[in-house]
Structure 1
Amino acid sequence: MPANSHFFTNRSQMRLHYLSWGNTSGIAVVLLHGLRSYAQTWDSLANALGQQYCCYALDQRGRGGSDWAESTRYRTEAYVSDLEDLVAHLGLQSFVLVGHSLGGTNALEYARLNPGRLQALVVEDIGPGSSVSGDGAERIRREMSQTPLVFPDWESAAQFWRQARPGLSLEGLASRLTHSMKQTPAGIEWRHDQQGIAQARLSITPTDLWPAVRALDCPTLFIRGARSDFLPLATLEAIKAANARVQTTEIADASHYVHDDQGAMFNRVVVDYLHEQRLQLQQISGE
């Protein structure tokens, strides 16, 4: 099922890009990628969800086909504002929201600021404190400060990803090379605003996600990679204890990048969870 490409203009007059898949009469699912990712990272999940859903994946500001911003504008409130503008542009009244890492932060904050809008929420490998301390937070800060802005050739770019993401599948590597990098006269460069995003990640205080977790008013699934250095198991258990609407699961042999490392299993978990929530909604509406 190929994706359709679209653009819209947000309230700040930025031109933002998104992809859509599926049946427009199906259940709407909005997908938010991670820190240095892109809308196409959700292609496999969108196809696994199929025609019962209509998926929309946003290139968050500074990524993919979307406009870049000042580094001070790569912060949670700006991302949430963009999401609110996409939802208004699409005319969505109720929908499912899925977010990985940075996208998970933005999804949780959207849910807190827009109660009653979500049918369900899926958060991939992020939780309160993940971006503040721990091995994963240190790794990402290190990557942000050390990632080259240009590579001499495609093999050098591929080698960068192999070293940075040892568990990355061949499909995941091919996707990143295709959608996060581009050939220029200078060499192989990033499609996203690597410099601005790095400055923001190294200088902006991460959002406290506990208020959002406690406020969740929709069925929510947190997915952790069993090898994740970013979402500790203790944090996952504390999230579940903090809100009765939360379910949690781990996916074996996956790092922080669960849908890249174990795509088929990740898709199965999400599809099964949303199917379960859809059946429960149908039972409630039929009573």
Structure 2
Amino acid sequence: MNPGMTTQAPTHAREGWVARDGLRLHYIEWGALSAPTIVALHGLRSFAYTWEPVALPLAQRFRIVALDQRGRGQSDWDPQRRYYASEYVRDLEALVEHLDLQRFVLLGHSMGGANAFIYASRHPDRLAGLVIEDMGPGASATSAGADRIRRELLATPAEFASWDAAAAFWRRQRPDIPETAVQARVQHSMKALNDGRIVWRHDAQGIAHARLHATPQQLVDLWPHVEALEVPTLVLRGANSDFLSARTAAEMSQRNAHVLTREVPMASHYVHDDNLPGFESALHAFLGAPDLATWARGGRP
């Protein structure tokens, strides 16, 4: 068992911790420790357990490790509010070192996808493949989805009077996702105080401040990272996404032959929530491609 690992969680995920920069970062994993590894990074206001529906069908063949990125889930909040790609990528590097991962597939949604692009361009020797869920150059800055997220951050209450009120908030925010995804958000992104109030488990104010007030130096142009990719890469776009445009998704494939783009029907920016079977079908096909299949059998692609 790895240093820092605890006993099995009630959901049958193993939990662990990695220290970096004075913060304790929490991660969960499914599958055998000896199996080929997939590392998963969640989005802006999400959490490691968002990957559970994706991970469970894969756990018979793969080890899936999901990180609560700083300020989210059970990971520590950053008192200096350093919620930027530069820090997230260093956190990922610390996790990879802590787990002694030699070669793995990296999966990222939205913000986690941006972090995954950057890591992949810097560490091609570590990756067998890269999977990006609805993220691409410019999406965080100029898309309609980026504007929607900014409005959501500004309008998000700091607390709720009850669990029912908290769940109602998430249903208004994400009216098209299934009830199981709503309940996962309530369970893993919120907590109750002793007086009964329901508050955010993540650093809502710090994350919003970083997202809304980032300087040009703190923003990342993803095009150089996309163009530098040297590993098989799958970009999954929700067909109804307001965040990653079809034009940008196609341009990524045009600029780099390693990038394969696929649209998942009946899905918005939250692809694996909206259409899990469609997401799984595309992901499993990618993992079964010849180069990735060789990696999954223990060889190097």
Q: In which range does the TM-score fall when normalised by the shorter chain?
A: over 0.9
Q: Residue 261 of structure 1 aligns to which amino acid in structure 2?
A: D
Give the gaps of 5 or more residues in structure 2.
Answer: 1-10
Contact kept, 8 Å, 1:28 with 1:53, in 2: the verdict is: yes
C-alpha distance in 1 between matches for 2:18 and 2:296? 33
Pairing 1:136-175 to 2, within 5 Å after superposition: 136-175=145-184
- The root-mean-square deviation of aligned C-alpha atoms, in Å, is 1.9
- Aligned residue among 249, 266, 273 for 1:236: 249
- Relative to the length of structure 2, the TM-score reads 0.91
Q: CA 1:117–1:135 in 2, change beyond 3 Å: closer, same or farther? A: same
**Number of matched residues?**
286
4+ aligned runs moved over 4 Å, structure 1: 280-283
Q: Residue 196 of structure 1 aligns to which amino acid in structure 2?
A: G
Contact kept, 8 Å, 1:71 with 1:199, in 2: the verdict is: no
Q: Residue 14 of structure 2 aligns to which amino acid in structure 1?
A: N
Q: CA 1:228–1:110 in 2, change beyond 3 Å: closer, same or farther? A: same
Contact kept, 8 Å, 1:71 with 1:200, in 2: the verdict is: no
| Partner residue, 2:18 | 8
- Aligned residue among 255, 259, 266 for 1:246: 259
Deviations 1:158-216 (A, max 9, x none): 11111111111111011111111111126111110000000000011431100110000
Q: CA 1:286–1:159 in 2, change beyond 3 Å: closer, same or farther? A: closer
C-alpha distance in 1 between matches for 2:300 and 2:279? 30
Q: Give how far 1:218 is off.
A: 0.3
| Partner residue, 1:47 | 56
| Partner residue, 1:64 | 73
Q: Is 1:106 aligned to residue 115 of structure 2?
A: yes
C-alpha distance in 1 between matches for 2:46 and 2:152? 14
Q: Residue 212 of structure 2 aligns to which amino acid in structure 1?
A: L
Q: Secondary structure at the match of 2:231?
A: coil
| Partner residue, 1:88 | 97
Q: CA 1:286–1:14 in 2, change beyond 3 Å: closer, same or farther? A: closer
| Partner residue, 1:202 | 212
Q: Is 1:121 aligned to residue 130 of structure 2?
A: yes
Give the gaps of 5 or more residues in structure 1.
Answer: none
Q: Give how far 1:250 is off.
A: 0.7
Q: Give how far 1:279 is off.
A: 2.7
- Aligned residue among 205, 228, 231 for 1:215: 228
C-alpha distance in 2 between matches for 1:136 and 1:71? 27
Contact kept, 8 Å, 1:30 with 1:96, in 2: the verdict is: yes
Contact kept, 8 Å, 2:162 with 2:196, in 1: the verdict is: no
C-alpha distance in 2 between matches for 1:103 and 1:282? 23
Contact kept, 8 Å, 1:48 with 1:271, in 2: the verdict is: no
Pairing 1:31-46 to 2, within 5 Å after superposition: 31-46=40-55
Q: Give how far 1:219 is off.
A: 0.2
C-alpha distance in 2 between matches for 1:150 and 1:190? 7
Q: Give how far 1:37 is off.
A: 0.5
| Partner residue, 1:28 | 37
Q: Residue 239 of structure 2 aligns to which amino acid in structure 1?
A: A
Contact kept, 8 Å, 1:149 with 1:189, in 2: the verdict is: yes
Q: Secondary structure at the match of 1:221?
A: strand
Q: Give how far 1:286 is off.
A: 9.8
- Aligned residue among 229, 232, 240 for 1:227: 240
Q: Among the aligned pairs, what percent are the same residue?
A: 48
| Partner residue, 1:260 | 273
- Relative to the length of structure 1, the TM-score reads 0.95
